[in-house]
Structure 1
């Protein structure tokens, strides 16, 4: 399978790429700063690196990256640096990027999208849970513009991408544990917790890519 990875230079993106390579998939990495990729990834025979942005005037680069791919996997998300939160732009830049991505997917006949989300994106299957209420409202309070962008990402994927086979993988607080154990469910189901390792997120993404168990759904992924 040929997979386009967005957000591949971040910590979760790198783990996703490694999981894809371990499964012998061809990986196209579309990145603003490809030099941030580990050397062993950028030099791998199964990796194609294309530099570009999601700006409107860089449409040709995104289309080049999308050529011949079977699926798009994205770990794009707002910064988690609390110090930068007050300076996050208020024009929902990531949701705008997703609108452009989905438009190109339509044009290039790419149907599968797996995208990173958070519990700020609501789902009809969610129930009230105090821990998640505190978590989401904490983010909304200290990083309102980032919160708005994440919510808008969910709306964009469900709206503009309604005819795609999409999965929004909602995550709680991410850790650097190497554990890959995880459970998928919904907020308030009595199973999911408020933390997850990036390694488990990456492993789930590759599993979902191959099995399509959560098509057009937005599971909440967490550590057991």
Structure 2
């Protein structure tokens, strides 16, 4: 397995890199990052980690990072002070074109409850969360909505999974359940390690292709 991880300098991305190395001890992890110095030193020194420095606008470097890759997992997500213009979704539009060009079909993208799924049921907790984000962090809300739209439309021929997450924590558990908003088992807390464990397992399990599961820690 040769895996490209986007957003690998943040806590969730670092968790993805570590889990990928654990599950695929003979594989290769390509980390595409604007600031690779933020990647922990032990990962920088790991011979199985290939680090490529570049921005979301440098598509030639993105294409270089895609060379011989089997799948892409993105931990890119908006910040509370996200700039306008949906830069991540715009990048995904270009990335999807490159995925088709290189015949890379497996793509996991990060999202939140702001991206609705037809299987969702009513939930006052998640409705309140989305309303709060839409009100207080409008650009972040717009970014997630745009991410969902570009992946499900332009990326409709990919084997995509939109991995939706609630509040993220740095606790140690990897216990994770997946479902849809409104399911009794779906809560509001998820550790980053559980997020990483779900994503790396889902690459080959393929239980959620062309869907948008909401994941959380098991009760």
TM range (shorter): over 0.9
Report the counterpart of residue 12 of structure 2 in structure 1: 12
The Cα shift of 1:44 comes to 0.5
Rounded Cα–Cα distance in structure 1 between residues aligned with 2:83 and 2:175: 35
Rounded Cα–Cα distance in structure 2 between residues aligned with 1:107 and 1:53: 20
Q: Secondary structure at the match of 1:148?
A: helix
Equivalence map 1:89-104=2 (5 Å): 89-104=83-98
Report the counterpart of residue 181 of structure 1 in structure 2: 175
Normalising by structure 1, we get a TM-score of 0.94
- Structure 1 unaligned spans of 5+: none
Equivalence map 1:9-158=2 (5 Å): 9-23=9-23, 24=25, 25-55=27-57, 58-80=58-80, 85=81, 88-158=82-152
Structure 1 segments (4+ residues) deviating >6 Å:
none
Report the counterpart of residue 201 of structure 1 in structure 2: 195
Deviations 1:175-221 (A, max 9, x none): 11111111100001111001111110000001101211111110000
Q: Secondary structure at the match of 1:200?
A: helix
| Equivalent residues of 1:54, 1:100 under 8 A apart | no
Match of 1:172 among 155, 166, 171: 166
Rounded Cα–Cα distance in structure 1 between residues aligned with 2:171 and 2:44: 24
Aligned residues: 216
- Structure 2 unaligned spans of 5+: none
Normalising by structure 2, we get a TM-score of 0.97
| Equivalent residues of 1:73, 1:115 under 8 A apart | yes
Rounded Cα–Cα distance in structure 1 between residues aligned with 2:190 and 2:152: 24
The Cα shift of 1:73 comes to 0.5
